[in-house]
Structure 1
Amino acid sequence: MSVIDNATAAKEYKGINGWLVLVALGQVVGPVRLIASLYEYYNQPDIGASFQAFPMLVGIEALMNTGYVALMLACTICFFQKRSIFPKLFIWEVVLGPALILLDALMVMAMLPSTNLDKLIDAETAKDVGRSVGVAVIWIPYMLVSKRVKATFVN
C-alpha cells in the first residue's frame, strides 16, 4: 500500500461514523441513565435508615457511584473531542460497570453475612450485569482492532 493509499484509507475511516455512531449513542445515553437511576436510588424513603445502619457501606457505594459517573462523563468528553485516550477510558468504563455492581454485592455480603447473593442480585441487576458483560465482549475488541477507532481518536 502506498503513502497515498494510506492517507486515503485514514480519511475514509476517520470520524464518528459506522459502528462508532452506536458508541456515541451509548456515551450520551449511558451517563444520563445512570444519573437518573442513582437519583432514584438515593431518593428512596429508606435511604436514611440504610445510611444510619451502615454508614460505611452507603458512603463507599456513593464514592464508587460518583467515581463511575465521573469516569463516564470524562469518557464521553474524550469521545467527542476524539482524544487518543478514549479507547482506554472506554475499556475501563465497560469493565468497571459490572465489576462495581458485583463488588457492591460482595461488600454487602461481607457486612451482612446472613445475606445471600441471590437476594442482593435481583433479576433486574442480573440483567444489567449481563448487558454490561455483553457490551464488553462486543466493544472491547472493536476498540482494540478497529481501523476507524485508530483513525478517529488521534488528538
Structure 2
Amino acid sequence: MQAVLRAARQARTFTEKSLRRWGEGAELIEAAVLIVCELATNAICHGAQETGPGSEPGPEAAFTLRLALQPEVLHIEVRDGSAVLPVQRAAGREDGCGRGLLIISALAESWTCGPDPDGGKWVRASLSRVADALMG
C-alpha cells in the first residue's frame, strides 16, 4: 500500500510544481491539487477493488495523470485500468468515503468520464483560469 500512497502524493506534487512553473495563481493551484488528489485516490481505490476486497492493489490500480493548460481553462485528466465509470453519490454523515466527486463538482467548472478505447476509463475535470470563476 506504500507505493499507492506515494503515487497519489507524486500526482499532487507534480500538479503543484507544474502549475507554479507555468505561472498560475495560488487559488487555481489549490483547487487543481485537490481535484488531482480526489481523482488519483479514486483511480487507486477503484482499480484496487477489482482485485477483491481487502487485497493489495494490482497493476490495474495504476493511473496516468495529464494536465492540459489552455488560455481560459485547465483540463485535468486521469486514466486508469478499471472499466467501471464513477458515479457521484451523496455520502451520509457517518460515511468514510463517497465525497470525492462532490468535491470535484464543487471546485471544477465541469467533470466528465468515459470508457478508454484501449481499456479502462478516463475522468476529466475542467477548471476555469478566470479569477472571477475561482472566487465562487
Q: Which has the higher helix share?
A: 1
TM-score by length of 2: 0.34
Which structure features the higher share of strand residues?
A: 2
Structure (1 or 2) with the larger CA radius of gyration: 1
